[in-house]
């Protein structure tokens, strides 16, 4: 621990209302812990902020003392960006207040809120904001990079529904960014990640959402993989927006509706979520007719519970790694790669997911936001290594890297969804945004963070 940070604990404690935690404190190990157990870093200081004023003070303290700064919201980043060795971790998780205006269909959401908190607060009024699919994810990290889930085809990305943000910049200013105020900053934070400051508040556009939706899990064993993917290729792009299908290569759950002989076996699944019962049933019937599933489970379910349905296999404490890629279609050649690689994973927790991106997602112009991905119809592919032990992660990580390399000939460009990066390689980040968008982001970065204070992310380097 540096002398500056050591002596600074007392100084910072006297200037913020929240707690300041250091390595000598009993709460330190829990305070520095993040979702991915593969990340084990030791900050010199942890500032647990309880207000925007606390965040501003902490940022200025870190800059003044030359400390590397990281920002912790939900702490769900695969890369562990939330925590830094020997620097200052600014924890905003207590800034989780959510206020819903049901008449205006808007929500003001604290930068430390989790998806589960956002889902619960909006569902109370029959509303929803598009978000991700793991409920213990932080709203901020997800939204600043994109935000994909069951509602993407219907209502767009999370960032497409951001009306304004409150942000603390590197020089301690507290700014509002919206279409009518600091518009370039507003453009940049919708896709540019945490490069421009600490977002302490979001204003979201909400949408009407029935509290109960239709949920289905249809699963086949490995030998049916190519058939499942070909079926999905024909079915999924033509679905109405009232039905979302996530394609997955994953192990059958250890659940009562799965026959004992199939529980935890590797295979392929279609996760079907319907926002209108008749169209949901039509979709499931099409699948049954074309390729009867080995396991089928369908039921009405509260949408808030659908949002938690994969929380358990993605729980805190696992050792994780991922890479992402965009592909335009499930061609026969891509299917050959996928089925070959899926059979090579070892951990029952590792998985491959395909999110279909079209509909409302594709109605936004490429340049309307800073989102690091084109808006043409496509699949976002997530190659995810998860192990319950540290020793089990290296072979799964190697599997993901090999899988990713094998899929490159079938990719839409060399970039990927920036929220699906466990490693922030400069060339991949630049490729994900494209030269024109990256250059614009660099210009905005230079205005608001010329010294690159906020660089523990998919970093945009200032000019």
All residues at 6 or more sequence positions from 207 whose CB lies less than 8 Å from its CB, including other chains: 105, 127, 128, 129, 130, 151, 154, 155, 161
Asked if 207 and 127 touch (Cβ cutoff 8 Å), the reply is yes
Average pLDDT rounded to a whole number, residues 31-45: 98
Q: Is the pLDDT of residue 16 over 80?
A: yes
Quickly name the fold that domain 98-209+435-448 has.
3.30.465
Q: Is 300 exposed, middle or buried (0-12, 13-18, 19+ CB in 10 A)?
A: exposed
Quickly name the fold that domain 212-420 has.
Vanillyl-alcohol Oxidase; Chain A, domain 3 (3.40.462)
Q: Is the pLDDT of residue 2 over 70?
A: no
Confidence of residue 368 (pLDDT cuts 50, 70, 90): very high
State residue 424's pLDDT score. Answer: 86
Query: How many of the other CB atoms lie within 10 Å of CB of 395?
Result: 15
Tokens 């059958």: give the residue: 252
Confidence of residue 106 (pLDDT cuts 50, 70, 90): very high
Convert the pLDDT of each residue in 71-99 to its tens digit.
999 999 999 999 999 999 999 999 999 99
State residue 414's pLDDT score. Answer: 77
Q: Is the pLDDT of residue 460 over 50?
A: yes
Is the backbone of residue 16 left (phi > 0), alpha (psi -120 to 50) or beta?
Answer: beta
Convert the pLDDT of each residue in 171-206 to its tens digit.
999 999 999 999 999 999 999 999 999 999 999 999
Cα separation of 412 and 432, whole Å?
10
* CA max distance for the chain: 70
H or E element at residue 120: helix 115-123
* HSE toward the beta carbon, residue 85, CA cutoff 13 A: 3
Average pLDDT rounded to a whole number, residues 244-262: 96
**What is the pTM for the complete model shown?**
0.95
Q: Where are the domains of the chain?
A: 3-91, 98-209+435-448, 212-420
Name the percent of the chain lying above pLDDT 70.
98
Q: Is the pLDDT of residue 8 over 80?
A: no
Confidence of residue 6 (pLDDT cuts 50, 70, 90): low
Q: Is the pLDDT of residue 56 over 70?
A: yes
End-to-end CA distance of the chain: 32
Cα four-point dihedral sign 351, 356, 357, 359: negative
State residue 438's pLDDT score. Answer: 96
State residue 7's pLDDT score. Answer: 57
Query: How many of the other CB atoms lie within 10 Å of CB of 240?
Result: 16
Q: Is the pLDDT of residue 1 over 50?
A: no
Strands (E), 206-306: 207-208, 212-221, 243-251, 266-274, 295-302
CA 417 to chain centre: 10
Cα separation of 35 and 43, whole Å?
16
State residue 250's pLDDT score. Answer: 97
Instruction: Give the class (CATH, top level) of 3-91.
Output: alpha beta
């Amino acid at each position: 621990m540096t002398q500056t940070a050591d002596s600074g604990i007392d100084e910072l404690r006297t200037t913020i209302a929240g707690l300041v935690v250091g390595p000598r404190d009993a709460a330190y190990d829990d305070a520095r812990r993040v979702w991915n157990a593969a990340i084990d870093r030791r900050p010199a200081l942890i500032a647990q902020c309880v207000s925007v004023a606390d965040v501003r003070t902490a940022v200025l303290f870190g800059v003044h003392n030359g400390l590397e700064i990281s920002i912790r919201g939900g702490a769900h980043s695969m890369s562990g960006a939330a925590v830094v060795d020997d620097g200052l971790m600014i924890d905003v998780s207590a800034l989780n207040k959510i206020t819903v205006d049901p008449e205006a269909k808007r929500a003001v959401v604290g930068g430390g809120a989790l998806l589960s908190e956002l889902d619960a607060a909006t569902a109370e009024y029959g509303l929803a904001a598009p978000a991700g699919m793991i409920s213990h994810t932080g709203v901020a990290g997800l939204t600043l990079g994109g935000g994909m889930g069951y509602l993407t085809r219907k209502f767009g990305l999370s960032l497409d529904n951001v009306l304004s943000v409150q942000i603390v910049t590197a020089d301690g200013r507290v700014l509002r960014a919206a279409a009518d105020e600091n518009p370039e900053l507003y453009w940049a934070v919708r896709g540019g990640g945490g490069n421009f400051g600490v977002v302490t508040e979001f204003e979201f556009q909400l949408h009407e959402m029935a509290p109960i939706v239709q949920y289905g899990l249809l699963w086949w064993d490995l030998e049916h993989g190519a058939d499942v993917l070909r079926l999905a290729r024909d079915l999924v792009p033509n679905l109405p927006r009232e039905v979302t299908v996530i394609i997955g290569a994953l192990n059958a759950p250890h659940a009562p509706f799965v026959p004992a002989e199939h529980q935890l076996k590797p295979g392929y699944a279609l996760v079907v979520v319907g926002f209108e019962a008749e169209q949901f049933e039509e979709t499931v019937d099409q699948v049954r007719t074309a390729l009867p599933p080995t396991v089928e489970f369908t039921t009405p379910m509260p949408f808030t519970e659908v949002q938690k349905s994969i929380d358990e296999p993605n729980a805190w404490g696992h050792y994780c790694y991922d890479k992402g890629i965009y592909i335009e279609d499930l061609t026969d050649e891509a299917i050959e790669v996928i089925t070959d690689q899926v059979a090579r994973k070892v951990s029952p927790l590792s998985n491959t997911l395909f999110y279909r991106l079209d509909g409302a997602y594709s109605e936004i112009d490429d340049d309307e936001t800073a989102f690091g991905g084109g808006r043409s119809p496509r699949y976002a592919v997530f190659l995810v290594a998860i192990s319950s032990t540290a020793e089990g992660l290296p072979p799964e990580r190697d599997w993901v890297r090999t899988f990713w390399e094998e899929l490159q000939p079938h990719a839409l460009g060399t970039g990927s969804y920036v929220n699906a990066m466990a490693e922030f390689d400069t060339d991949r980040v630049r490729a994900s945004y494209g030269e024109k968008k990256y250059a614009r982001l660099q210009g905005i970065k230079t205005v608001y963070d010329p010294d690159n204070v906020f660089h523990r992310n998919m970093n945009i380097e200032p000019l």
